[in-house]
Amino acid sequence: MSKTTDGKTDFGGALKNLEGTLEEYLVKKAPFQLPKNVKEIIVKFAPYLAILGVVMGIPGFLALLGAGTILAPLGFVGGMMTGRPFLGVGFIINVLFLGVMVLLEALAIPGLFSQSKKAWTFLYWSALVGVVQNIVSFNVGGLIIGGLLSMYFLFQVKEYYK
């Protein structure tokens, strides 16, 4: 993380540095660029894809909360029997990550129609939360495939959001 003049860690500065680094490698040094017409199609359909993600995510989140409430004691017991005593805790953490990602996507929807930079930033934060979720849950496949692809597409269309 970057440091401020008084020696404290600046979280916003660290996020800006990360964004700059990702832009360097996913746009400027990327092995290939998306064609302009593909970028325009992505930007055109992004609001509708975000709406679809929220519409699918909210019931999923609520269902997981309900199932988690009913099955949480069984998850802890089952986890201990299988040698994974924190199985229930991992479930709860993943539900929380899903809730944050759905919320960030919902916040991005109005700005996606007007192609605002703020909407792109909400999607970027949602993708970052997904990356952190994959790291916390040790999901290497999701981290590499999902995280890299989502970041690649986000940074390829970033120039359209002002």
The pLDDT assigned to 75 comes to 55
Reported as a pLDDT band with limits 50, 70 and 90, residue 93 is confident
What does the block give as tokens for 13? 């500065």
Model confidence, pTM: 0.79
Calpha distance 58→146 (Å, rounded): 20
pLDDT digits (tens, 9 = 90+) for 24-79: 999 888 888 999 999 999 999 999 999 999 998 888 777 777 765 665 565 555 55
Q: Where are the alpha helices (DSSP H) in the chain?
A: 11-23, 36-81, 87-113, 117-136, 140-141, 148-156
The pLDDT assigned to 118 comes to 96
